[in-house]
Amino acid sequence: MCIAVWIWQSHPLYPLILLLNRDEYHTRPTKPLSWWEDSSNILGGRDCLAGGTWLACTRNGRLAFLTNVREPDRISNAKSRGALPLHFLESRKSPLEFANEVAKEGDQYNGFNLILADLCSKTMIYVSNRPKGELSPIQEVSPGIHILSNAKLDTPWPKAQRLHENFKVLLDAYDKEEIPEKEMIERLMGDHLKADKEKLPNTGCDPEWEFNLSSIFIDVETELGRYGTRSMAALSVKDSGEVSFYEKYLEKEIWKEHTINYPIVKME
């Protein structure tokens, strides 16, 4: 399902700091953060089943990530949502141009929230295909702190509010100092606290399932196997264009971690 929090164009040192948890069944085959062998310009994790990604970026400053929209009904023959970030990173369209294309074919996918960014042009766009039939599913993301879980951008679900508040406290504590990516993950994204049941959103899903998904870090046993947070990522971009991408991830039920750094190279 995933949850993300980020600060965009309003920090004294970082044009972008992004934290994201990816939630998925533990049996779904996945490759951890790396430069892709078949596309050396793309850096991110990879879903080995459908071939897409939940969060990735490029050497020339493009970035995309998504979350699923929680809903009881699914389209059985829907296109893979993980292909959307990949197609954006492979294209040369602006975030807005690509979002307009996505909006036209949104009914071919199960519910998604998609963030598209061009760090060089300082542009970030949000597009979603839920609720169905909405007249204006696209918006430019304003400077500041934003949260995205499994409803629309900045929807104040309990865990989203909790992450937003904790993120702001951490940013304030460091003020104008550099913030270690690993510390951000350890302090914010491993939070197992569940919401009060009376405060849970009504998505039409089973209330007990809703409760199990109400923490920032998820770990639950289901009839289909273990489901929950498979990876936690922290991506930061400095004014100089230096990118630091840290990932803590599960591999054969063992937590591992690594960081990849690279400079953004502007295209001529």
Locate the domains of the chain by residue range.
3-263
Q: Indicate if the pLDDT at residue 267 is higher than 80.
A: no
Asked if 119 contacts 62 with a C-beta cutoff of 8 angstroms, the reply is yes
In a 3-state reduction of DSSP, which class is residue 179?
A: coil
Asked if 62 contacts 29 with a C-beta cutoff of 8 angstroms, the reply is no
Structure-model confidence comparison of residues 262 and 252, the more confident one = 262
Q: Is the pTM of this model over 0.85?
A: yes
Asked if 264 contacts 58 with a C-beta cutoff of 8 angstroms, the reply is no
- Ramachandran bin of 120, using left for φ above 0, alpha for ψ from -120 to 50, beta for the remaining angles: alpha
Report percent pLDDT > 90 for the chain: 88
Topology of the domain covering 3-263: Penicillin V Acylase; Chain A (3.60.60)
Question: Would you state the pLDDT for residue 176?
Answer: 84
State the average pLDDT over residues 37-41: 84
Asked if 46 contacts 36 with a C-beta cutoff of 8 angstroms, the reply is yes
Mean pLDDT (the chain) is: 94
Confidence of residue 134 (pLDDT cuts 50, 70, 90): low
Confidence of residue 135 (pLDDT cuts 50, 70, 90): low
